[in-house]
A and B are shown apart, each in its own frame.
Chain A
């Protein structure tokens, strides 16, 4: 096996350009004759737009135009759609609030754009925006998720601000389980609102060629084809074949760049309107206000156990904040990506979950790293840990007693999913060993001697990745299939250009996918180039989110590569005067089984493009395309164990150890996977201890900068102790599951279980800030 093949920690080829400042991000793109956009944003959480007087801006030197929602609607620009129809338990459709890209009559959150100022320079656009006189009539806002249904109604078509009341599972069976339970553990808690904070803010550079009527939109997207599809089919900006969306190097997404936003839409429209390329790059304050936020649940959850500590039922009631409008996939996150995961790693036979999705006068809430699965894991793992404490059972032992055993797969859960494979005992055992669980009591005693309180917490998480079998997803309300495309284009000289519908915004696809294809074709890693993020170059694809890229996009490339090998065999068979069934392909060589003839991959590629000695039945060329539609989700799972030490005098939580043993199936590049786990854990610890998006009662975002919104930093984190167990996925060709979100999914529950253990309290809201912990420590 080569040192760049599948399973090798190849250094990321993209990093050299990233760390030497030669990445090409959207803001690095400049077009001749380009102008700049600044957005008019609502200062109020809810207000009627009485009038917009832009006459002052027209006087500002350099201002080209001020446009509002009315200009967009006059141009038949449609609303921003939500791509997943969720039905309420009574069978009715979710209530969709109209979402014009620029607010027309009413603004519904602080930072909502209602106008766009275009000018010769950024400074002129800012000057212009400042002198636009907008008269608002303030309306009473509904801010908190707790008061959402009792507060003022945001949208005329949404009574009580309830978008849907969704359920999953068997309510009767679950109630029966509770009626017969020997013990019930009940918790009420919130899952704190988070703000994504990708390193690169959102940006767009749009141009319109009046001669060809073609748009080119360069933007920070995790899924450029989806952006094109929505801008064409729903927003009606331009027909799909007249719109090219390019997502070049993108500096992090974490979900927040999946969505089709108002700003990118308005910038593209403005390029046609002013007849010049228009550029917009969000500043950090805009990112805080107007990127889709994450999480924000209120949940009451109960676990029923029998006398042997076996889980008999789980009942969950969640209210999920959707924000002021439905962002692109907002509806699916607290439903199909949440309720379906509530079985966790356990055999709980009866589960029922009800989720009330509500509108509030806050920024839209949508998928953020983990998207529904961190929330589900938090519910299950906080409950299980609390049950163990109440029953005075070792939390590891209680989990073991309820695990789905390796011989029970495939396992149908009571919440729709069928797990294909897993070995939960293996990852728990490895994590216990690595965390030196056996000697925790001694460490705790030593901490107490120093006036500190020590706690340990577990999180045995599961997630569903590799979104998704298209038929199932569409049945459940998805507006698109969730397959992926891949193309392997062999060039005449034998090197290979790979096109993937996945998009890399930090994940390292240029390395990982090249490893897969070069390994399969037996050609040097350096001979494979990976192209992504351009609808003008790449086949329609669905992009990157939900840890789907290797499982779905990678599988598509394997399929395309298999086609290349099959055609190569037919060509080689002709050249070696045998039949294709008698040709073996390995290590980059086609060998005739019935003779000693061999042809290299390069020789066959050349023959395909210079077809003289060539089978008459074959088309020239060696380029193959494939779409891969997954047969099932993949189910990465693992155990995280956090150990914390608390200073009761200050309330500071020191994460002294963090062990993660994850089962991602087969791993293509262990170094990249470990990096993904590290980043995810950092974000998970961020949620548990540091991060919180807070709106005050008046609807103002009071954590709108890094002065107040606390991002995790290196010195907040321990050196993570990361390991993996391997149970290959059974239904994709690589046996891979996906790894991008696991850290963020597993870590919050592990940390909060450790913090509550150290403090001896039942619950503490996230983030466990020093003051909250100090108060809890005082008792």
Chain B
């Protein structure tokens, strides 16, 4: 780890101001990506702004049509939340599938989504549920948020503060974990909003995306078999030592089918 200035602001305004003033500052949420990166000297920020003491960034609020989860809410809290389990059980399930107990106790929703790691779990739900990302300055639709590998719509210094997850009629998440890292090789989040079906995919491409072809097929008939006929394009899919793009395409289909089966029996 290289040396850096450490800050622990106590308001959003203070945090964003610090971020704006510093030469090359970075926000620290749960630190599950940032801290290992710093420890391996793969990043050398001038300033690290720890968000853990900023009030109002953590918490779960159940509204009539959505669940609002603060950016600093830990995965373990979402996994154990009675409100989330009641409103969107698939989201609580997803949170409980992330990493291991230590990761879930430290990692945060905002940190995960803002990082746009191609194999993170949460982005599948953000896309699948058509969530709204709330920042210190605006609201961003899920479909506009993930741009590429580790790239999002967030501008320099923009602070993700909460995410609003619309309550689906029913939803399900199916993940094929990387045997080594337990990240998602492919994760599919399917949500039925009563006639309208959304399918979010993580792991397969450079960032999470909507599987529109699968959505269209399910729109005609909400049945696992509908997925069989869908051609999964994998030209832009990730290919690494764990899974080729072709295999990932297969996993998208299989995980989508299983998510639909699970959703229908939920």
Contact = CB atoms under 8 A, between A and B. Distances in A.
Interface of A: 123, 126, 130, 285, 649-651, 690, 694, 702-703, 706-711, 716, 769-771, 774-775
Given A650-B251, A650-B254, A771 B181 contact: no
B242 A708 contact: yes
Nearest to A126: B41
Nearest to B255: A650
Interface in B216-250: 241-244, 247, 250
A70 to B, nearest CB: 27
Contact of A706 (B41, B180, B250, B251): B180
A706 B180 CA distance: 6
A711 B41 CA distance: 25
Best-surrounded residue of B41, B176, B179, B241 (most CB of chain A within 10 A): B179
Nearest to A691: B180
Given A690-B180, A710-B179, A769-B242, 12 more contacts: A130-B41, A649-B250, A651-B247, A690-B179, A694-B241, A703-B241, A707-B181, A708-B242, A709-B180, A770-B176, A771-B247, A774-B250
A123 B1 CA distance: 8
Given A126-B41, A650-B251, A650-B254, A716 B242 contact: no
A708 B241 contact: yes
Contacts of B181: 706-708
Interface string B167-200: 0000000001011110100000000000000000
Contacts of A709: 180
Nearest to A771: B247
A771 B176 contact: no
Contacts of A130: 41
A702 B180 CA distance: 13
Given A708-B241, A708-B242, A769 B176 contact: no
Nearest to A708: B180
B254 A771 contact: no
19 contacts: A130-B41, A285-B40, A649-B250, A649-B254, A650-B250, A650-B254, A690-B179, A702-B241, A706-B180, A706-B181, A707-B180, A708-B180, A708-B181, A716-B179, A769-B179, A769-B242, A770-B243, A770-B247, A775-B247
CB-CB nearest 5 A-B residue pairs:
A710-B180, A707-B181, A771-B247, A649-B254, A710-B179
A652 to B, nearest CB: 8
Interface of B: 1, 40-41, 176, 178-181, 183, 241-244, 247, 250-251, 254
Nearest to B1: A123
Nearest to A707: B181
Nearest to A775: B247
Contacts of B254: 649-650
Contacts of B242: 708, 769, 771
Contacts of A775: 247
Nearest to A716: B179
A74 B241 CA distance: 44
Nearest to A130: B41
Nearest to B257: A649
Contacts of A706: 180-181
A702 B241 CA distance: 9
Given A126-B41, A649-B254, A650-B251, A771 B243 contact: yes
A694 B180 CA distance: 14
Contacts of A123: 1
Contacts of B40: 285
A154 B247 CA distance: 37
A774 B251 CA distance: 10
B2 to A, nearest CB: 8
Contacts of A769: 179, 242
A774 B247 contact: yes
Contact of B179 (A285, A694, A703, A770): A770
Given A708-B241, A771-B244, A650 B180 contact: no
B136 to A, nearest CB: 32
A654 to B, nearest CB: 12
B261 to A, nearest CB: 12
A706 B183 CA distance: 12
Nearest to B240: A708
A523 B86 CA distance: 63
Nearest to B250: A774
Nearest to A123: B1
A716 B182 CA distance: 12
Nearest to A711: B180
B118 to A, nearest CB: 13
B105 to A, nearest CB: 18
A398 B250 CA distance: 39
A288 to B, nearest CB: 12
Contacts of A711: 180
A580 B241 CA distance: 71
Nearest to B100: A713
B241 A650 contact: no
Nearest to A690: B179
Contacts of B180: 690, 706-711
B204 to A, nearest CB: 14
A709 B241 CA distance: 10
A130 B2 CA distance: 11
